[in-house]
Amino acid sequence: ALRPGGAPVLSPVLSPPAARGSRQGMSRLGWKGRFPLVAPRAVSETSDQEHQPSAGLNLKELTLENHPNLRIGKLSNGLRYVILPNPSPPNRFEAHLEVHAGSVDEEEDEQGIAHLVEHCTFLGSKRRESLLGTGARSNAYTDFHHTVFHVHAPHANANNGRPMLPAVLDALTEIGFEPEMLPARIEKERKAVTAEAQMMNTIEYRVDCQLLQYLHWENALGCRFPIGKMDQVQRWTRDEVYNFWEKHYYPENATLYVVGDVDVQETERLIEENFGRVPARTGGKRAAKNDGLDAELLVESSGGAEKEKERERETNGNGGGRNAEESGMDLRETNTGLLLERAHLSPAGLIRPPVDHQWGCEPMIQTGFQAPISVFRHRLLQLFQLSIFCKLPIQPMKTLDDLKRAFMVRVMLSVMQFRINARYVAADPPFIGIELDHSDSGREGCAVSTLTITSEPKDWRGAVQVAIQEIRRLQQHGVTAAELERYKSALLRDSEQLAEGADSVPSLDNLEFVMESMALGHAVIEQRQAHEYLLQLADTITPEEVSAICKSILSFASHYDDEASLLQEYQADPSKWATPGPSIATAVVACLPTFMDASGNSSGAAAPMQRGASLATTQHVDPSLAAAALDDTASDEEPPEGAIRFEIDEAEIREAISEKGLEIEALEDVDVPDSLVSDEDALALMNRLNPTFVEVDAGSPETRPLADPSTGVVRRRLSNGIMVNYRKTDNEPMGAMVRVVAAGGRALEERGVLGPDGHGVVAVGTRTLSESGTVGDWDRAQVELFCISRLINCVLEANEEFICMDFHFAVGDGGMAAVLQLLHLFLEAPRWEEAAMERSKQMYISHYRALPKSLERATADRIMQSMLGNDRRFRDPSTEEVAALTLDAMKENVMAQLHAGNLEISIVGDFDENELEHSILMYLGTVEPKPDMPGAGDAIAQCPTVCSPPLEERHSVWHLKDSDERACAYIAGIAPCRWGEFGKQQEPLVPIDAASIPSPPPPPAPGATEEEIERNRELRRRHPLYASATLGLLSEMINSRLFTTVRDTLGLTYDVSFEMSLFDRLPTGWFYVNVTSTPQKIKDAMMASMRVLRSGSIQPFTSRDLLRAKRTLITRHESDLKDNGYWLALLTHIQSPAVPLKSVECLRDMTLMYDAITVEDIYEAYNHFDFSDEATFTCIGTSGQEATLVDSPILQTRIQAKGAGTGAPGEVDPEAFLNAIKNFMDNMQNS
């Protein structure tokens, strides 16, 4: 219920996406995420100083040991199982059943049937339904090769205390091998799949389809998407659906994974007891696919046995020797998964069907292949985006030499990203983003190198030039010794930090790591050994070796259209190249807007897409629909008003990529500071300002207060006014997080003002400060490398109520002091730069221009326009508003909030408390106080006023011209405040004495007297958490009804949700429902959703409904307590005068408050919503060639109610709706 001091969780105002190649906030790590090549957060028992370098060792002979606690076995019926004990979160476990059948298993007339079978088996399972309300969560997905059913569950059933593992395994057995496949369920899921396809058929998804289609032009991955073809989905009979299940769902074609706080022997016994009852059988045509290529198989023991290690050494875990060229093997054969000894394989043993790839390495180079330029145009695309791909064999990680190579690839990517960032900070960079990636994909069975370039249409040639120039520079000159040492040190520190957290890795993370490692043929490294491996190999890495990696991997882009000379360079001195030698592009895809404005800029901006960003079936659509978008580029189509056609062709793109004569001299290195604030400067500030800690609560005797006994939270206050909260946790050993919150946010912008300090001045100003990326006298590169070397991530943003700055960092080697030094200079000496302002303005302008091209964003914005009128502080600033802003006005408005008297800083992590106290005093205490600066001001005066327009303006429809049909609808209205008493909307919140807050009592016992009931009611409703907890439970209950009624029973949608934007500082809020469907069904879906909102007076909320919601929220809260980010959210505002009702007692009482809520309380909250036509706002948005809706179904209903006809067009039959609600209530009673 308590959320961070960031943006309201469900605000319809969207921040512009961070540009690729830019820094989001002050600095981010120079590589994508954490080091992904070791078991998550492995523990090292040997320090760097104790470690002996491995010089002289043959890393190719040093085999990576599999995790000793990983139990891999096989039942007599062929089912493989994998068990890994994992202590976090305690008393919970993950169980995933992976059936090795996906969309590539489908025949030509079966496209989408694997996904439909997933729906029918999962949602048709009675035993899965029995898990509802027990504290368990379950879901499923289908991809190219797999269908996965997963359950996250507690040890004990929340209803009766019985063990959950037997029930979960029983449910998974039924889902996978004992489904009923009732015709009614098939019909219901047929509708759901169709709605799912419509929901996710966004332009971003269509771009993703194009990238995959051209990348995998030679195999089924490019044309056999999991969602399939809707015309086929509609016509399959029950027998056809059943036959696919029967062919592929058998024990030998499945693997069960159980990871969590479990006993291995007991888990094995239960697996045998449940899955052992399934008879063994073969899979029909499966045997025909056994050609030994790209087949994923699992080792049948825990690993570590000498026999298995010998097999792996002989086969390279891949069916081939260590060097494919030396063995004479076709390079395709180095991409299989982990193989058992082939002599022992039966045809049904193959799990993954083979997919042939054309590799972008020497055999293909010798054929003279050159990837063509493939172009995809669409009217809804806004930015130029060019993707250059190279597919290579996966190199399974079995030895230290394999791990070393992967480590060097991370160094290469880090160096490249830093160099691109340096180019981005130019006054007018010609690109929005340039990103290089090289990663293994278990789903696709290959490694892919990708160079993605994104720019405004007019800048496309300059953007390509910068990308190719930097690729060629790194490919030709490699990395410097200083760059290698810098990133090697950073990656090792990252590994060390992760190594300390072996016992805090969530089971789900470990499970995904195990699944992906096995799919790729990697060793599943024991968690306490992984960091040691990195220490062993780090000393052996040389700049020449990393440069060889750069030379081989990057040649796919550096030598495009010059492949002949590339082969000559390689043959002249192969020793300078890493395995597998030079690489060439295998696909080049340009995604282009059909139109741009007259100045050459986009008429909007869509976020750049990553290949595979939407591979889950809940994000897939008919590929034929995506292909149809190509027809939307007719040359005779009239451009929109103010736009012109964006005309470039394949030849121009080819010329830009292959341009000769680009300057590629080696770069000079950057001097990285050891500290941002010297000891001398810090001591001088201490002597001059004499900072001290002061009392937090009047009369408190402690100079250094003890931690709160129930929460472990310490509250401190500095003499300059800064409030500090901290809590020590072991959730992330050697890691910590800091949040800085300044009250104010966009609510302090002037309403209805167009000018230098008008709408958007705080939002764009905050982004400008972030884009500057530096502080004090340091330049941006120095600050960025300072952060990289200390693993400091930072994000700065503004929302409606606050300016918020988050740090995530490693605490070792002075990490806490480094972060607080950075924060000190950020507050005392920020850098306001014109170039940073121009970049920020362009991001916001592009984001605003994209609004009309996004069905969901535009529909939500129309709702906000109806609700708030001309008050644009809670909406995206317009082009005109952004253009009118000035740097001086941004500085004045933002810095008026970022001063010591208006700051609350919360710190959570694995830190030394004495070191933290010292650093707080030295770096935060020496921030100059500014007593004359204003605070957040009058929150009531800053509240938006919800308009009361006529009915025809409250309820609207609109249409977006598109090649494909989609539809969505929003219902919105005023919600009660999350703080204070219900019914006192926009009244001042009066601080209360925290010591006077009693813990919420449990609900009255049966037989309690009226006086006892009234006293109990008074106590719980006096608690500051009462409104927030009650609204959270009500939201959970409404969402259950929406899903069961609108989605499951009526089949009108795939996705519907009820959300509330509840503010902390502003005494207001609103709710909204978002539902997606087809244009033909969207009015029915919206009206059904409206009926559910109003159903609380028809079908009462019950104690069973409430109990189920309580279990869900309490379970979520208890699980989230293992996350530092969640604790940071809890601590935020506990001292802030801007949120006077939140105190440390709120953290103490969250679970008790949920338990105390009664059905009577739910109705008190529910009755403060008005879901009538006169109080709500609705908007339906459709897309397609022609509009199908003329008016809102609410208005049509009103017209007919006045005598124009009978019935209610666009509404679900009332009897059907009531039956749906009745079914929902019956299900609740039975669960």
Return phi, psi of residue 967, to 5°: -160, 145
Residue 325: both structure tokens together: 């060229």
- Residue type present at position 230: M
Residue 1087: both structure tokens together: 């009206």
Q: Are 294 and 354 in contact (CB under 8 A)?
A: yes
Q: Are 225 and 209 in contact (CB under 8 A)?
A: yes
Biggest CA pair distance of the chain = 95
Return phi, psi of residue 59, to 5°: -65, -25
Residues pairing with 676 in the sheet: none
Residue 182: both structure tokens together: 């009732």
Rounded-to-5 percentages of helix, strand, coil across the chain:
45, 15, 40
Rg (CA), the chain: 30
What one-character DSSP code corresponds to residue 609? P
Examine the residue annotation and report whether 953 is marked as an active-site residue of this protein. Answer: no
Q: Are 657 and 561 in contact (CB under 8 A)?
A: yes
Q: Are 1073 and 1054 in contact (CB under 8 A)?
A: no
Catalytic residue among 189, 801, 881, 1036: 189
Give the distance from CA 932 to its chain's centroid: 41
Residues pairing with 955 in the sheet: 1178
- How far apart CA 691 and CA 930 sit, in angstroms, is 14
In the sheet where 714-718 sits, what is the strand order? Answer: 693-694, 714-718, 723-728, 903-909, 735-743, 802-810, 793-798
519: left (phi over 0), alpha (psi -120 to 50) or beta: alpha
Residue 275: both structure tokens together: 């899955």
Buried-state track 1178-1214, b at ≥16 Cβ within 10 A, e below 16: bbbbbbbeeeebebbbbbbbbeeeeeeeeebebbbee
Task: Please state, as a whole number, how many other Cβ atoms lie within 10 Å of the Cβ of residue 46.
Answer: 11
State the DSSP string of 539-567.
TT--HHHHHHHHHHHTHHHHTTT-HHHHH
- How far apart CA 101 and CA 296 sit, in angstroms, is 12
From 1126, 1133, 1154, select the one nearest 1063 (Cα to Cα): 1133
- How far apart CA 105 and CA 103 sit, in angstroms, is 5
Examine the residue annotation and report whether 834 is marked as an active-site residue of this protein. Answer: no
Q: Are 1025 and 1062 in contact (CB under 8 A)?
A: no
- How far apart CA 999 and CA 1150 sit, in angstroms, is 9
Residue 101: both structure tokens together: 């059948």
- Residue type present at position 256: L
From 1074, 862, 861, 1077, select the one nearest 966 (Cα to Cα): 1077
Residue 108: both structure tokens together: 């030509």
Pairing of strands 71-74, 80-85: antiparallel
Q: Are 435 and 471 in contact (CB under 8 A)?
A: no
- How far apart CA 849 and CA 1122 sit, in angstroms, is 40
From 962, 205, 230, 385, select the one nearest 631 (Cα to Cα): 962
From 185, 175, 124, select the one nearest 149 (Cα to Cα): 175
Which residue in this structure is represented by tokens 């996406």?
17
Catalytic residue among 98, 106, 110, 118: 118
For residue 742, the surrounding DSSP H or E stretch is: strand 735-743
- Residue type present at position 513: F
- How far apart CA 805 and CA 770 sit, in angstroms, is 10
Which active-site residues does the annotation give?
A: 118, 189
